[in-house]
Amino acid sequence: MVYRLRATCGILCVEAAIKGVCAVNKEYPYTIRDFFHMFPNENACLNYLIDLRWPTGYVCPACHQACSPWHESRRRLACPLCRHKVTVTADTIFENTRTPLTTWLDAAWHVTTAKNGLSAKTLERTIGTSYHVAWMMLQRFRVAMVNSERTKLAGTVEVDETLVGGEEHGGKRGRGAEKDIVVIAVEMKEGKAFGRTRMRHIPDASEASLLPFIQDSIVPGATLVTDGWRGYNKIGGYGYSREIRNISDSDDFAHVLMPGVHRLASLLKRWILGTHQGSVSGMHLQAYLEEYTFRFNRRNAKSRGLVFKRLIEHSLKTKPITQSDIVGGYWNNDIEEEKPF
């Protein structure tokens, strides 16, 4: 009788385990348990990347024929028609990586599911790599977080700059301060709701820095809500409407007149000081802005697992990134000075 009971319990446990595996969403995991079911080994990770990279089926890049490729060693696929071989991770941020794919996907899961993200030090302790590997992985993911196909902001958009950096005493105030300047644009919805956002680290608050950001981030025809700064005076000539809210001439506070950008600026600084302990240099600031933008614009995602899937999809569409690309600052074009916090 005892033996039968134990055998029955064993069968039930096996059935429950099978149901648990079957319940896992094929597109992305919902929980950490789902994640471990989906990615138990390197082959499972490789198959997931194949499904995301060729969602409608594998097509040989040489003969352009749809086929079922042969799986070979070293992450290679061979076309059975023309014998052309291609690496699954080729031409992506995973190209030539010596880090196991299980570690890459583990890092992506923790980065996307953690409410406030992870610093490189925390990621190092979480996935068991060196600090250098964790930092490089995070930087590559931050580049991949920029979707090249993303649409521009539209409707009513607040635009303003904020200063990001360490505390300074006795220096200039406002736009002339020796800190890093970040311009923020955020869509304003009905009521107090916010839409999507864009952020950029700019060298100064001049028209030459502000106009390119506006043109790259906001669709023409949108209504821009700005303060009275002269750097925005010519935006009307580029197809934008402008609503000026001059803070110096009003009895209301800045966060009352322009609640969107000031809320975003406050949350951004809190995130940098909290998650990253303020340890962000001006050279790499844009990378952190892209991560925050990625998170904020997906704050209402129905599942953190879906955000994980999006990050992996973007990673497969992003060109390979070398260490030299990152060390000097991936977006460090016009920002030449490194200003540590």
Residue 277 sits in a domain whose CATH number is 3.30.420.10
Residue 317 resides in a domain: no
Residue 339 is predicted with a pLDDT of 34
Report pLDDT digits (tens) over 115-136. 889 999 999 999 999 999 999 9
- Alpha carbon of 129 to those of 40, 120, 150, 286, 289: distances in Å? 18, 10, 32, 25, 25
Residue 217 resides in a domain: yes
Residue 243 resides in a domain: yes
Mean pLDDT of 312-317: 95
Pairing of strands 194-202, 180-188: antiparallel
Residue 73 resides in a domain: no
Report pLDDT digits (tens) over 52-66. 999 998 889 889 989
Residue 168 resides in a domain: yes
Residue 338 is predicted with a pLDDT of 35
Residue 26 is predicted with a pLDDT of 73
Q: Structural domain of residue 165, as residue ranges?
A: 156-287
Q: Name the pLDDT band for 228 (thresholds 50, 70, 90).
A: confident
Report pLDDT digits (tens) over 16-54. 333 333 344 578 999 999 999 999 999 999 999 999 999
Q: What is the pTM of this model?
A: 0.83
Residue 254 resides in a domain: yes
Residue 334 is predicted with a pLDDT of 43
Encode burial over 15-30: b for 16+ CB neighbours within 10 A, e otherwise.
Answer: eeeeeeeeebeeebbb
Counted domains in the chain: 1
Residue 207 resides in a domain: yes
What percent of the chain clears pLDDT 70, i.e. is strictly above it? 83
Residue 164 resides in a domain: yes
Residue 133 is predicted with a pLDDT of 95
Report pLDDT digits (tens) over 186-195. 999 987 789 9
